[in-house]
Structure 1
Amino acid sequence: MVARALRSHLSVLRVPAFRRLLGGTAVSQFGDGLYAVAAMWLAYSLTDSSAVAGVAGFLVGIPGVCRVLVGPVVDDRPLGRVLVASELAQAAFVLVVPLWFWLMGESVAVVLATMFLAALAGQFAGPAQSATVPRVVHDDDNLVRANSLATVVHQATDAASRLVAGALVAATSAVALYVADVATFLVAALAFLGLAVPDDDANADAGADADDTDAPEVGSRLREYAADVRAGVDVVAGSALAPLLAASLFANLLFGAASAVLPAYADGLSDAAAYGTLLAAMSAGRVLGSIAAPAFEDRAFAATSVLGFAAAAVAWVAGVFAAGVAATGALFGASRVPVGVYNVNVKAVLQTGVPNDHLGRATATIGTASAVVAPLGMLAGGAVGEAVSPTFVLYASGAGFALTAAYWLASPTLRRFGAPTSVESGAFAVAE
């Protein structure tokens, strides 16, 4: 029975385009894991300041605000080309750090600037990958399975890369990992270069019409672009996606704060290896949650969210209280299991309920809202961690999980949310 269920979940790998997308994304995400540890630890170690680490996290997160603007680009351009361009741009920016350090010497300003620019270039990747999945899978029934598998691979790769990165930073240097990260971006670009993504019918028709006309004036194109952005906002604001998004904002704020102080907290426990271990444990927890997600696809989303976030709050606070690398890592990882389940189911709800021709816009809008909250949390967390203590900030972040559970209970719309598989295709379309 278990083997049959596993074969069912893995059946989506029969789609060649999905395999290539999954492989390219995994390579890129392995590099991202290396970079995440190297960049944050380097920013902290050069200054011994949680406040600077908070600024670093802010600069990485704030470009996400631009994601709402890249949504129309994702929807209107060949997705394979968008993915390739994003990887190459990130490789170019990340390469600046090792070159500068070797030629000019250490500079936290260069690290911070590079983090911002690389993050800005990477904003196209998330919406493009999300919009690519339903086009290559071609089956709404397989979306949860595809997203579950993609998230499992993502988080497994992320966990492994962060564990490896922590050990390598402790043994060598953070700068050396930047070179490895450049290589992973280039390999991912090669994988995406051969990715064939079918055009959405609406976009194909629009492209055919555009070939028969002259290029629009700049003013006309800007007005059309603004209308595309508004369309993505309307999809979210005019549907159940709005309270679904709001449910996570408090938690995102406080978890962002926790991310800012985690290097200092890990340094108090041990060293860079401890930082990598904690990050790897949290990623491993999301892996387990992603693996478990299909078991909850037919259960009420409201019930799994309330119970899951409440359990996450308890595990996180217990992990801070434990104050040891092994115990804290295990409990932090356990707190991320419900988050893994939640993320997969949210993605399936989004990809099923939003029409394909608006999916990039809607994904970008949601990413933008989260990108506003999390970087502010990092700035605040770094400042509070510097003024009070990293431990205080970590305890406060545990309240974010509890607040999310409370919001689900308080919202009439969310309390009535059924199973992810019960969402009808195009249910969140905006009436014309």
Structure 2
Amino acid sequence: MSDSSMNLFLNRNFLFMFFGRLVTNVGDSIYAVAAMWLVSELGGSTFYTGLAGFLSLIPRFIQFFSGPIIDRISIRHLLIHTQLIQAFLLLIIPAASYLGQLNVVLVLIISPIISIFNTLIYPAQMSSLPSFVPKKDLTKANSYFTFAGQGIDTFCNAVSGVLIVIVGAVSIYLLDSVLFIISAILFSFLRIPKHKQQIEQSQPVEKENISVILQHYKTELLEGIHILLGKSFSRLLWGMLLINLVGGATFVVLPAFSKLHGGPELYGLLLMAQAMGSMFGALIAPFLKLERIGMGLIYATAFSVSGILWTLSVHSPNIWMMMIIYGLSWVPGGVTNILINSYIQKAIPQHLLGRVFSASYSLSGIAAPIGSLCGGILGEVFGSEVIIGVSGLSVLFIGLYWLFDKTTRKLPSSDHVTEKVFQA
């Protein structure tokens, strides 16, 4: 392990944030597989899995409103309470099963509520990193955080299908509840320095009426959105919105696709391949030395390759080849996720990062619920294989658009990015 890596893990806040995220993502990963499979079993069609995807992803829109909150409140308290609330909500499913009251409607109700609290966690963690990690170590820190997500996804997706067969999807909810309690305990050891704005908010102030508070909130929220919608950077943002739309469509038809070619084990393995590809991309990102290459050119190349592999995966001659090609299609996304986080962190003032990251995840993720719903409906008409294939072609076309668009190609590298990129 390098000296900079060792220094990161000697950092108390980074250590507990990292392992807290690790445990949280174990719960998230296993839950995501179990919930979608449970809906598929209880509902019996891609319409219900599409609806489940829509309901569980639509809370990402709430991130539009969470930015100013994250910039003002204690990150430590936010992380602890969101974990405990999710732990309680997860227990409802096994309790309903024990009482003989479990049905697809209950699962569909619980999933979006859990997602609401889950959407607050990632932007809160990312916005707090610069407060206790030196700027020179941010790319490596982001890489470790992504590994904590994608690496765990790889392992958990691989075993989730087997766990569903052995103990059942309902028992996984009980396991997840315990994991969220453990992560809350880990987050309780954090001692994160407050942002300047948080300190100001903690000082005694005169009482403000509700209209003034809402006006301030609206101003701060729009500021984060305005930064992201700078003319140059928005080209990438709109492209990612479309990619997330087809990604949502692919995700909700995977259970049906897996039933055609195997069962829950194949579903878990395909998700494992997806996570492994993203994780590998995240791990190699710091070693590719891409900080000197224009961000637009990186995105154009990455997703052109991703789209080709994504499309080819459904036409693979056997299951193992399918898994390999599908997994490789997610490697470019893993690389770009690391680079774009550092890109934003280097260019945006720290006191604005919470609202900017929240707006970023909301804008890029808002299409995923729509894609999930459309994918579920269209999957009933055209079949899961067609949906996955068309999704891959869509990613390819977006990559080619970025490649030929002059504004996108001129986006500066990570080493030369300034706040002007988000103001042009």
TM-score, length basis structure 2: 0.95
Structure 1 equivalent of residue 336 of structure 2:
342
Give the counterpart letter for 1:132 in structure 2.
S
Q: For each residue in 1:315-346, what CA deviation from the matched residue of structure 2 results, as whole angstroms up to 9, or x when unmatched?
A: 21221111633221111110111110011001
**Structure 2 CA distance for partners of 1:340 and 1:86, relative to 1, 3 Å:** same
Pick the aligned partner of 1:304 from 294, 298, 302.
298
Displacement of 1:9 after TM fit? 4.8
Pick the aligned partner of 1:75 from 54, 71, 76.
71
SS at match of 2:116: helix
Paired with 2:10 and 2:398, the residues of 1 have a C-alpha distance of 37
Q: For each residue in 1:80-131, what CA deviation from the matched residue of structure 2 results, as whole angstroms up to 9, or x when unmatched?
A: 1111121112112221111111113330000000001101121211210111
Unmatched tracts of structure 2, length 5 or more: none
Pick the aligned partner of 1:287 from 265, 279, 283.
279
Structure 2 equivalent of residue 388 of structure 1:
382
Structure 1 equivalent of residue 362 of structure 2:
368
Give the counterpart letter for 2:326 in structure 1.
F
Q: Does 1:261 align with 2:253?
A: yes
Structure 1 equivalent of residue 217 of structure 2:
225
Displacement of 1:407 after TM fit? 2.8
Give the counterpart letter for 1:273 in structure 2.
E
Paired with 1:216 and 1:16, the residues of 2 have a C-alpha distance of 37
Unmatched tracts of structure 1, length 5 or more: none
Q: Does 1:359 align with 2:353?
A: yes
- Kept in 1, the 8 Å contact 2:72–2:197? The answer is no
Displacement of 1:190 after TM fit? 0.8
- Kept in 2, the 8 Å contact 1:94–1:182? The answer is yes
Q: Among all aligned residue pairs of Structure 1 and Structure 2, give the percentage whose two residues are the same amino acid.
A: 28
Structure 1 equivalent of residue 391 of structure 2:
397
Q: For each residue in 1:6-34, what CA deviation from the matched residue of structure 2 results, as whole angstroms up to 9, or x when unmatched?
A: 55455432322111101000100010001
SS at match of 2:346: helix
SS at match of 2:332: helix
Structure 1 equivalent of residue 13 of structure 2:
17
Give the counterpart letter for 1:106 in structure 2.
L
Paired with 2:404 and 2:86, the residues of 1 have a C-alpha distance of 41
**Structure 2 CA distance for partners of 1:99 and 1:323, relative to 1, 3 Å:** farther
Structure 1 equivalent of residue 158 of structure 2:
163
Pick the aligned partner of 1:182 from 177, 181, 184.
177
**Structure 2 CA distance for partners of 1:303 and 1:95, relative to 1, 3 Å:** same
Structure 1 equivalent of residue 128 of structure 2:
132
Q: For each residue in 1:287-337, what CA deviation from the matched residue of structure 2 results, as whole angstroms up to 9, or x when unmatched?
A: 110011112233332333222212112221221111633221111110111
What number of residue pairs does the alignment pair up?
Answer: 422
- Kept in 2, the 8 Å contact 1:10–1:145? The answer is no
Structure 2 equivalent of residue 249 of structure 1:
241
Q: For each residue in 1:61-82, what CA deviation from the matched residue of structure 2 results, as whole angstroms up to 9, or x when unmatched?
A: 0011111101111011011111
Give the counterpart letter for 1:142 in structure 2.
D
Structural RMSD (CA)? 1.8
- More off after superposition, 364-373 vs 69-78: 364-373
Q: Does 1:319 align with 2:308?
A: no
Q: For each residue in 1:221-264, what CA deviation from the matched residue of structure 2 results, as whole angstroms up to 9, or x when unmatched?
A: 11111112111112112364322211212211111110110010
- Kept in 2, the 8 Å contact 1:38–1:177? The answer is yes
Give the counterpart letter for 1:61 in structure 2.
L
Pick the aligned partner of 1:36 from 32, 36, 48.
32
- Kept in 2, the 8 Å contact 1:10–1:149? The answer is no
Pick the aligned partner of 2:81 from 71, 79, 85.
85
Structure 1 equivalent of residue 198 of structure 2:
203
SS at match of 1:195: coil
- Kept in 2, the 8 Å contact 1:293–1:341? The answer is yes
Give the counterpart letter for 1:242 in structure 2.
S
Paired with 1:11 and 1:151, the residues of 2 have a C-alpha distance of 18
Q: Does 1:193 align with 2:188?
A: yes
Q: For each residue in 1:130-167, what CA deviation from the matched residue of structure 2 results, as whole angstroms up to 9, or x when unmatched?
A: 11111120x22211111111112221111111111111
Paired with 2:415 and 2:161, the residues of 1 have a C-alpha distance of 39
TM-score, length basis structure 1: 0.93
